[in-house]
Chains A and B, each alone.
Chain A
Amino acid sequence: MMKPTTTMRLRVDDRLLHGQVVVTWVRDLAIKIIWIISDRVASEPIEIALLQSAVPFDVKLEIFTIHEAADEIHKPSTAQSIMVMVENLQTVLDLQELGFPLPDVNVGGLRYQPGKVALHRAVYVGKHDVDIVNCLERQGVVMTLQVVPSDYRINFYDRLRKKWK
């Protein structure tokens, strides 16, 4: 199991590792390890290369598939703060079903796609996302919407109920 001192953050952001993460979150939370959990990224060598070269020099980046991550988290790990990044809400649900101990889920960016509804200027969701969120809410997962640390932290479920009709 993880050591109790390990603090974990989970961010849902479909741009994964970008300016907001590198310039604000990584620095404010003194992140030393980032995990990107995505079956898609794990199978794209070009993207792995790009991500590895863009990560800040003092941060260690590890890229896992969903199954690998679910195994990895139960190995004895170092007591440093890990920032887990996933591309979509489906991954969060998959991780939970595999027994991954979910921390609070921070939604930081889900881009617009045709048919999606805006919950916030940086977060758009569709029918499938809403089903997943409802499922996570039933299981008591805490979800927040916050783009950068200086933003006000919004309760994701409340916002969803207000905007999704």
Chain B
Amino acid sequence: MQSIGQIVAVMLIASLAGIESVLDEWQWHRPLLVCTLIGIALGSLHTGLFIGGELELLALGWMNIGAAQSPDTALAGVFATLLAVRAGHDVSSAIALSIPLAMAGNLSTVLVRSMTIPVHHMADRITQNSPRSYLLLLHMGSLLLQALRVAIPALLFEVLVKRAVILAIFQSIPLVVQQGFTVASGFVVVVGYAMVIRSLRARELMPYLLLGFLLAANSTTTLVTIGVIACCLAWLHIRLWTKHDTRAVDVSGLPDLQTTSAMKISRPVLWRVFWRSQFHQASWNYERMQGLGYAFTMEPALDVLYKDEQMRCERKQQHLEFFNTQPYVANLVIGMNLALEERLSEGRQSFSRLIQSVKLGMMGPLAGVGDSLYWGTIRPLLGSLGAAMALHGNIMGPVFFFVSWNVIRLGSRWGLLFYGYRFGLKMVNTIATGFLRQINEGAAIVGLFVMGALVAVWTHVNFSLPMIDTILSQTIPKLPNLLLLFFVLWLLRRGWHSVGIILLLFILAVCGVFVHVLQP
């Protein structure tokens, strides 16, 4: 029987996961962290770590890009762990059951993201005449809805569903299906790798995927070592093996681009902007996306720059317009925007138009770079390393993921904000040198290499026929894993949804067990 303390702890963790599912900052909604926390709260750290690791690998490629929402890891993570712990540690069945929940979570977050549209309209009205700002209240209020979205189902589950019921459900699953689930949980993670590979795939870089696979399949090299080798290869590739065709555009002659900052905004105010920027996506919705978040983040600086109340209202109103980009690189736009805002506050009206075009012009291209770098490469890399450790029962897995990710995230946020502000439009010169493309290419190489290794190491296809194992060990070990990966990539390319593929693999696994080709 669960204690009140446990229920409260689960509620809090679920709320945190719900909040993060929209913010995407600290990553508490990622399975590796949320499952571990729930596991700790329920006194089964080991189960939490294992489910967290497994689901993290499965969800490596699930990322929110613009209006395209991925399946929801927050709800899936919370419930998979609750189910597994309450039912006595049947991990693979719990994972199978959590997949439909990820889709339900997706629907509920879509609902909340639509419900916050009226909040935006309220912000429009309030900034029209009120010098006192309520942006904070509106913006953060929206966050509460996301918290409740996960916390309420978790509470209902904990209070209403008796352990006997869960056990009955698990025991009603036929043995062959249960074994099928166990088999599937060994290789269904391939969908996660495939989604990451898809977002990085460039024909000329595919050999790196194979190299990663072959190295890992034929040796006992650790994943961390493989990561380091991948970085070395990326470095060599960029420095030696590619022609320096960065296709830089020379824009240094443009007069606008000489606008740097007068540094009128003090450090404490910049820090407040930085702090607020971590809640950039709190009121994310389908109409204006990060519009309110942008105004909210800018607010401390606008309050300092504009002494005239009317003008202040006007500027806030202006920044409530549609905006969307990858949330961390948004800080570069905000920083550059602050430098321009400074000039505008000195009465240079022409800057009003420039500010708008910088915002609109930068958000798309920066999102392209930011999404593929942070969601498409860095998070899957750190997540898979952490997950591999967690699957060995090592608590350092989630800790490593959390610390390394957040160091990178906070560093990016502060660096981009500060340099954006300091150098203003001059930053465009830096961006235009083409170094972003090199980062992009290097990151893709590391990503592909490590994903290739994961296909070999953290994918398990066990045949019941010893003959197959013998043949494989004398040719290319783990070849079935690779074939499975190509199959999944092919399905993705044909427009299959990742959840559809996961369900298909579960069904195939059950069939495989039924005809005695696969075994747990």
Contact = CB atoms under 8 A, between A and B. Distances in A.
Q: Do the two chains belong together in a single complex? A: yes
Interface of A: 15-24, 27-28, 30, 44-58, 109, 111-113, 118, 121-122, 124, 147-151
B324 interface: yes
B288 A50 contact: no
Interface string B345-368: 000000000000110011111111
B409 interface: no
Contacts of B369: 22, 54
Contacts of B482: none
B361 A50 contact: yes
A49 B67 contact: no
Interface stretch (B13-21, B24-32, B37-45, B429-437): B429-437
A114 to B, nearest CB: 9
10 contacts: A19-B65, A19-B375, A24-B198, A30-B203, A47-B361, A49-B432, A50-B365, A51-B365, A58-B202, A112-B287
Nearest to A54: B365
Given A45-B251, A53-B365, A54-B366, 4 more contacts: A47-B357, A49-B428, A49-B431, A58-B441
Contacts of A150: 68, 492, 495-498
Nearest to B198: A27
Among the interface residues B204, B367, B434, B438, which one has the most CB atoms of the partner chain A within 10 A?
B367
B114 interface: yes
Contacts of B366: 50, 54
A18 B495 contact: no
B267 to A, nearest CB: 28
Interface residues on chain B, size class:
35 or more
Contacts, number: 156
B386 interface: no
A51 B428 CA distance: 11
Nearest to A121: B286
Contacts of B492: 28, 150
A15 B249 contact: no
Contacts of B441: 57-58
Contacts of B200: 27
Given A15-B324, A46-B254, A109 B110 contact: no
B66 A50 contact: no
B368 A55 contact: yes
Contacts of A24: 65, 68, 198-199
Nearest to B496: A150
B328 to A, nearest CB: 12
A121 to B, nearest CB: 4
A104 B230 CA distance: 41
Given A15-B324, A15-B363, A18-B325, A50 B372 contact: no
A17 B363 CA distance: 9
